[in-house]
Structures are given as structure tokens and as C-alpha cells.
Structure 1
């Protein structure tokens, strides 16, 4: 005797609706993170420009912070794409996810490299300033 017991917790259409809502929320969070980062960076850029002479020095720090916001926002966008294909994906959806994931991963990789380079540049500038201020004071 072969008894097949199938329990459906949520109908597939309801599950698709719930996942669609979650995708929108995650993608909205990613977009919001990117927007907040862009607004923050723009505000700091303006403030440095108004103060005068500070934009050049702070430019790398502003770019570094904006890059972090962009990287985080892209991660949320990728999470939304993964969620979108979580329920019975077609081969077309899987192919689209692979292409989108590859593009976003490449963007994130190069952005992360840029962030690391900016961080190293800021550290070199900080060390140079410290060495310069020590040289002005003289040996103790």
C-alpha cells in the first residue's frame, strides 16, 4: 500500500505573491541605501567645497564612503534577484539571474578593489602628514 501524503502549506500563487513582495522590499532597501549614500556623499562634497580648499583632501574619503554604500546597495539588489528566481525558475530566469549576478558581482569586485585602493591612498596620505609633522617638530 503506497500512501502519498501531500501537504500544501501555501498555494504556489500565494507563495509567488509573498516572494514578489519580499523581492520589492529587498530591492527597495538596496535602492534606498544607494540613494542615502549618494545624498550623504553629495552633502559632504558640498560642505567641503563651501569650507574652501578641503575638497581635494576629502575627495578620496568621500569616494570611499560612497563606494561602500554602492557595494552594500548592489548586494541587496543581487539578493532581490536571487529571491525572484527562488520559486520554480525557468531556464530563461536562471540565465537572466546568471547574467545579472555576473554583472553585479563584477561591479562589486571592481568597486571593492577601488575602495581598497582609496583606503590605501588615504592611509599613505595620513602617514605622510604624520611624518611631515614629526619632521617639523624635530627630534625629541
Structure 2
């Protein structure tokens, strides 16, 4: 038995397992998100509560797509034909684009959730902490010693 045929045999087992993992992740995410949706609906939650359900489902979908892409890569790992390489490139491009836009949407929704939960005043405080410059009305920083208010340094005093 050659190394190539041993690898093909191993991949014959590994690829379906990785594909199944991706399918399980997506199925679990769909069921979990559906249960959360029903629970929130029965509790009379507002529409902004459903954003968290979408975020959760999107995360599961992105992870499941990663597993599916991994199985496609593994499938063509041993002596691929040009046709298989072309198919893999097309599949990888489509899944990568889906994952990219899904991740972008998840990040935007997380920013919206954070903005809704913190409010504008808290966001101003956070911006001031990160930039060092207060927003609208907080205490101003003093210029470092030896600088004027316009930012130019004074010449050193002669002795």
C-alpha cells in the first residue's frame, strides 16, 4: 500500500466527518436560534431583542461554512485534477464571499447592539478614554510643560 493510497483511504473517512461536523453546527445553530426566537416571542420581547438571535444564528452559519470549506479542501488534497481544482476554487470563492459578508453583518449588528445598550453618553466616555480627547464638555488635558497652547515648543532657556 503506497502512502498516497493510505492518505486517500484516511481522507475517505475524514472528509465525511468534517462535512458532518459542519452540518451539525449549522443544524444546532438553527434549532437553538429557533427556540430562542420562540421564547422571545412568547415573552413579548421587542424587535431589538431579535438582533441577538440573528447574531447567534449568523455565528453558527459562519462556523458551519468554515467546516464545509475545510472538507472541500481536504477532498482535493491528494492528486487533484484540474477540474477538481477549478471546482474547489469556485466553491471556495462562493463560501469565502458568503462568510465575509456574513461576518461583516455580524460585526455591524454587534456594534448596533453595543450602541443600544450603552447609549450615546457612554459611547462618548469610551471615545474619550481611547483617544485621550474628551468629547463635548469633559475636563481638558493640560499641554505638556514647555509647550504653548498652539502646539509649538518653546526654545530651551539659556543658562
Query: What's the TM-score, normalizing by structure 1?
Result: 0.81
Could you say which structure has the greater relative contact order, defined with CA pairs below 8 angstroms and 6 or more residues apart?
1
Residue segments in structure 2 that go unaligned for 5+ positions in a row: 123-159
**Structure 1 residue aligned with 2:32, among 27, 40, 50?**
40
1:129 is displaced (CA, Å) by 8.8
Mapped contact 2:4–2:78 kept (Cα < 8 A): no
Question: Deviations 1:57-85 (Å, cap 9, x if unpaired)?
Answer: 31111101111100000000000000000
Q: Which runs of 4+ in 1 moved over 6 A?
A: none
Separation in structure 1 between the aligned mates of residue 53 and residue 105 of structure 2, nearest angstrom: 13
Larger-gyration structure (1/2): 2
Shift of 1:103: 0.2
Which has more helix, going by share of residues?
1
Specify the SS of the correspondent of 2:77.
coil
TM (normalized to structure 2)?
A: 0.72
Number of the residue aligned with 1:113: 104
Count of residue correspondences: 122
Alignment RMSD: 1.8
Q: Does 1:51 align with 2:43?
A: yes
